[in-house]
Chain A
Amino acid sequence: MQAGGDAGHRCALQVQGLTLRYNDVLALDGATARFPTGSMTAIIGPNGAGKSTFLKSVLGLVEAEGAVSAFGGPVAQAMPRIAYVPQRAAVDWSFPVRVIDVVLMGCYRKTGLLGRIDRRMTAHAMAALARVGMQDFARRQIGALSGGQQQRVFLARALAQGADLFLLDEPFAGVDAATESAIISVLKSLRDGGATIIAVHHDLTTVAAYFDRVVLMNRRTLAEGPVAETFTRDALAQAYGPALMLDPTGSSAV
């Protein structure tokens, strides 16, 4: 089933009624959202709200019920246009590969099983590294990098894929300030070039500065839309509960 109809042409990604049950726990309960082409969306919500699971279900990495369409068609067909940046903690960083090897993994669809990694391919990967300011680290083993540098390498691998829909899982978790601003400027330039960015985000104080849309979720999607209209105190209280003391929207005093 294809969600949306004619809105599908303007939406990079549409998700309708995504539901996932782990044993007896509902990890996702009918999550529904639209991600317009060329937008930059933060997915926010409390811990355990199913944000990472949402991304994985959208990509078909875990099997969930519901309808997902990317660029107006099934996600499986759109996968070459989609880049996924997993959480940094998802891999073993002592693995014996170099930075350039990790970035070249993003070229797998072009090289395939036995295709040669020629000078053009390497140059392509180096250009991706340069975009995140990591060109001098190409021959370094990945275990020797800081957390922020590791995250930049992951972003470079996604850039090397040449995708126009980016799904990032907590790209700013545990990174230094320099990395955070490097990543956000790359993401903004991708968006300005017409790409669609969707990031699971945990720092509510930077939502308004970094993103133009927001999806608020707690197993279901509670609100979605432009930051100015959606990122409100009421909506946050609904998602996080009244215990949220600070007011990151800055609209009123506690």
Chain B
Amino acid sequence: MDEFLYLSLPPMVIASLAAVACVLPGNFLLLSRRAMLGDAMSHVVLPGIVAAFLLTGSGSGVVMGAGALAAAGLSALLIEFVTRRAQMEPGAAMAVVFTAMFALGVVLLETTGTSGVHLDVEHALYGNLESLIWLGAAPPELWRLALIAAGLGLALRLVWRPLVLATFDPVFAQTQGIPVAWLRAGLTAATALAAVAAFQAVGSILTIAMLICPAASARLLTRTLPSQLMASLGFAVASALLGYILAGYAPLWAGLPFTLSASGMIATVSGLMLACAALIASHRARAAL
């Protein structure tokens, strides 16, 4: 039991908190057809982290987080710029910017000898959830993610009404005096914050999965926005816990001498949940005919 408390509980809590932080903006990204932004944000943090490390020589989470946020902000501006100047569809602009930024991050990582010492591409993809264990105190990622998840939840509660209106009908929202452009920028910032915080703990694959999969599953199964949000939070936490347990224990139960990547398994579980939700929704649609 002690082993579980020290080795398994902290990463499970961290995975759940990362999932919650991502799901909150994820629901609105999905509804405003900007789901790709989550993908973009969780990739662009890599060059930011590498650059922050190269500039300061510090491997502290706060310094790297600041670098990642700066990179996220820069790429948000770049996306906006490409969309307007090249009159490109936003999805295409995001794809151009985030692949270029991520590639830059990989190049920086490999050419500066940073790779393998403090950072490597594998960690960027899968995170290091399994190593976030209790070492006399909770890992700092836990408090950071808790703070960010709580902050995002509070911010969402505050702007809920105008945000829903601006997402549903931005033109009408403007006639009601709602600062639509600011809300849009705020959602981008919230996505960046959640992506950066989650990236450091769980890697980019799980971050992308958590930004979209639980919200997409909930969207298929619910009819009102509050119930969609609640369901997506439930799916997110459930896939975090279930995925972690499956990754750590399923191979042992099967008598195999290894464990699986927790991040990978959590992302897989959330993907399977989405597949089930799609099946249930299409079955319901057929039954309604």
Contact = CB atoms under 8 A, between A and B. Distances in A.
B176 A108 contact: yes
Which of B158, B169, B175, B225 has the most chain A CB within a 10 Å cutoff? B175
Contacts of A84: 171-172, 175
Given A108-B161, A109-B176, A98 B169 contact: no
A44 B250 CA distance: 69
A9 to B, nearest CB: 24
B172 to A, nearest CB: 6
Interface string B157-182: 01101101101110110111110000
B280 to A, nearest CB: 16
B177 A96 contact: no
Nearest to A87: B171
A96 to B, nearest CB: 5
B228 A96 contact: yes
B175 A91 contact: no
Interface string A143-158: 0000000000000010
A86 B161 contact: no
Contact of B223 (A61, A79, A105, A141): A141
Contact of A105 (B168, B177, B219, B222): B168
A96 B174 contact: no
A195 interface: no
Interface in B168-209: 168-169, 171-172, 174-178
Given A86-B172, A90-B169, A108 B223 contact: no
Contact of A95 (B158, B159, B168, B174): B168
Interface string A90-116: 111001111001100100110101100
Contacts of B223: 96, 98, 141
B224 interface: yes
Which of A59, A98, A101, A141 has the most chain B CB within a 10 Å cutoff? A101
A61 B178 CA distance: 12
B165 A96 contact: no
A82 interface: yes
B165 A108 contact: yes
Chain B: number of interface residues, binned into ranges: 20 to 34
Contact of B161 (A61, A102, A111): A111
Contact of B175 (A59, A95, A96): A59
Interface string B45-84: 0000000000000000000000000000000000000000
A97 B172 contact: no
A186 B172 CA distance: 21
A82 B174 CA distance: 12
B172 A96 contact: no
A207 B84 CA distance: 39
B31 A95 contact: yes
Nearest to A140: B223
Contacts of A97: 164, 168, 224-225
B165 A114 contact: no
Contacts of B224: 96-98, 101, 141
Given A96-B222, A97-B225, A114 B158 contact: yes
Given A113-B162, A141-B224, 9 more contacts: A61-B171, A61-B174, A92-B31, A95-B31, A95-B168, A96-B219, A97-B168, A108-B162, A109-B176
22 contacts: A59-B174, A59-B175, A79-B175, A82-B175, A84-B175, A86-B172, A91-B169, A92-B168, A95-B31, A96-B224, A96-B228, A97-B168, A97-B225, A98-B223, A102-B168, A105-B165, A105-B169, A108-B161, A108-B162, A113-B159, A113-B162, A141-B223
